[in-house]
């Protein structure tokens, strides 16, 4: 729900997982939170820089993961206490009964994910029969499938070819494929090369790509005070970013090797969730922002991809208790 320069939805090799198991991530903090390259997660460094963790009594250690899926597997393996991850990558661990809960919604993608097409393609009917480079089973695959469905088409109307996000973008720039599912900074790079334009972005599908904090039950039970303080720090960081977007970009950009001006563009494509939006997202309703709605839609896609066998019940893995506690004076 980047800049997702390393957010390639691929499985961590067994050797890598073994390395994590043999060498747990050291930390003297009460709570370790996995963070990777996406504006809604890099935003935690604003909370750290501005002293919000200390202000709200949260003993938190941010653990940076260059490869996003490594963080997802690290959480499942018990190597960290909590992790920033997309809802789409959380439903499989939920089905596998990883003892954890979604305790916070950090953001929704609001333009940072896109179905990019060559300049010669202007409409969805023109996409019929064309090749789309996309990582199969990924967020970009899900976005493209949703876009097709919204325009009266199906996945069989195009030819999805499995490739990493970076390779798909490069192929579109080189004219080797007419369409690609990508996220920023690849969207910007394709446009800078004048090689294509967005036919559909996550901005046109509110609630489709939520990003969350997934925390292990044992850590929640042992360190509730720190999780509540951490969530208060998040709410404060969201207010800071909304009031000072360029200053926030200056804090965040160095963590991903970009210039603040570049990062500000990607930050604008991310809808950060403060306290009010979190309550709406974690409540059962028919609103697009609700995780109950997005879980149903995302689950249908993952079942169709045989990634999970059935859509989990959101009531079983969403816990709004930390958010509600953080909202108290």
**pLDDT single digits (tens) 46-90:** 999 999 999 999 999 999 999 899 999 999 999 999 999 999 999
Is there a shared CATH topology between the 14-109+207-326 domain and the 113-204 domain? yes
The Cα 278–Cα 291 span in angstroms is: 10
Residue 31: is it exposed, middle or buried by C-beta count within 10 angstroms (0-12/13-18/19+)?
A: buried
pLDDT tens, residue by residue, 148-182: 999 999 999 999 999 998 999 999 999 999 999 99
pLDDT of residue 25 exceeding 70: no
Q: What are phi and psi of 113, to 5 degrees?
A: -120, 140
Under a CB-based contact definition with an 8 Å cutoff, are residues 44 and 241 in contact?
Answer: no
pLDDT score, position 28? 53
Angle, helix 14-22 to helix 68-76, in steps of 10 degrees: 60
For residue 92, count other CB atoms closer than 10 A to its CB: 15
What is this structure's pTM?
Answer: 0.87
pLDDT mean over 303-329: 96
The Cα 115–Cα 1 span in angstroms is: 14
* Of 314, 265, 290, 230, the residue nearest 44 (C-alpha): 230
pLDDT tens, residue by residue, 242-260: 999 999 999 999 999 989 9
Mean pLDDT of the chain: 91
Angle at 167 between CA 151 and CA 187, to 5 degrees: 55
With cut-offs at 50, 70 and 90, classify the pLDDT of residue 108. Answer: very high
- Residue boundaries of the structural domains of the chain: 14-109+207-326, 113-204
With cut-offs at 50, 70 and 90, classify the pLDDT of residue 329. Answer: confident
* Of 218, 321, 240, 327, the residue nearest 276 (C-alpha): 327
pLDDT score, position 30? 86
DSSP alpha helices (H): ranges in 106-216? 139-150, 165-173, 186-192
pLDDT score, position 29? 60
The Cα 76–Cα 68 span in angstroms is: 13
Query: Which residues touch 163 (CB under 8 Å, ≥6 apart)?
Result: 133, 134, 135, 171
pLDDT score, position 11? 35
Q: Which fold has domain 113-204?
A: D-Maltodextrin-Binding Protein; domain 2 (3.40.190)
Q: Which fold has domain 14-109+207-326?
A: D-Maltodextrin-Binding Protein; domain 2 (3.40.190)
Using omega within 30 degrees of 0 as the cis cutoff, is the peptide bond preceding 234 cis?
Answer: no
Query: Which residues touch 3 (CB under 8 Å, ≥6 apart)?
Result: 37, 38, 39, 42, 183, 184, 185, 256, 258, 263, 266
The Cα 33–Cα 229 span in angstroms is: 13
Question: 3-state class of 142 per DSSP?
Answer: helix
């Amino acid at each position: 729900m980047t800049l997702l320069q390393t957010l390639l939805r691929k499985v961590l090799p067994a050797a890598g997982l073994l390395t994590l198991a043999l060498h747990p991530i050291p930390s003297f903090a009460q709570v370790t939170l996995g963070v990777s390259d996406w504006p809604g997660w890099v935003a935690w460094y604003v909370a750290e820089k501005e002293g919000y963790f200390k202000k709200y009594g949260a003993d938190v250690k941010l653990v940076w993961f260059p490869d996003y899926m490594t963080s997802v597997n690290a959480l499942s393996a018990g190597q960290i206490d909590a992790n920033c991850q997309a809802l789409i990558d959380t439903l499989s661990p939920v089905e596998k009964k990883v003892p954890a809960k979604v305790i916070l919604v950090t953001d929704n993608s609001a333009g940072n994910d896109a179905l990019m097409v060559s300049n010669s393609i202007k409409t969805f009917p023109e996409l019929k029969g064309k090749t789309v480079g996309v990582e199969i089973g990924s967020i970009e695959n899900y976005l493209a499938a949703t876009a097709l469905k919204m325009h009266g088409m199906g996945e069989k109307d195009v030819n999805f070819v499995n490739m990493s996000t970076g390779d798909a973008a490069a192929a579109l720039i080189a004219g080797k494929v007419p369409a690609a599912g990508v996220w920023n900074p690849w969207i910007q790079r394709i446009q800078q090369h004048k090689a294509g334009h967005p036919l559909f972005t996550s901005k046109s599908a509110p609630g489709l790509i939520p990003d969350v904090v997934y925390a292990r039950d044992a850590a929640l039970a042992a360190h509730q005070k720190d999780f509540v303080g951490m969530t208060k720090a998040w709410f404060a960081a969201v207010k800071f970013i909304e009031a000072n977007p360029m200053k926030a970009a200056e804090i965040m950009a160095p963590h991903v090797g970009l210039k603040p001006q570049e990062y500000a563009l990607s930050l604008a494509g991310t809808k950060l969730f403060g306290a009010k939006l979190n309550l709406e997202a974690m409540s059962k309703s028919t609103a697009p922002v609700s995780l109950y709605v997005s879980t149903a839609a995302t689950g249908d896609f993952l079942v169709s991809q045989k990634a999970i066998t059935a859509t989990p019940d959101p009531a079983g893995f969403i816990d709004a208790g930390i958010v509600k506690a953080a909202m108290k004076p």
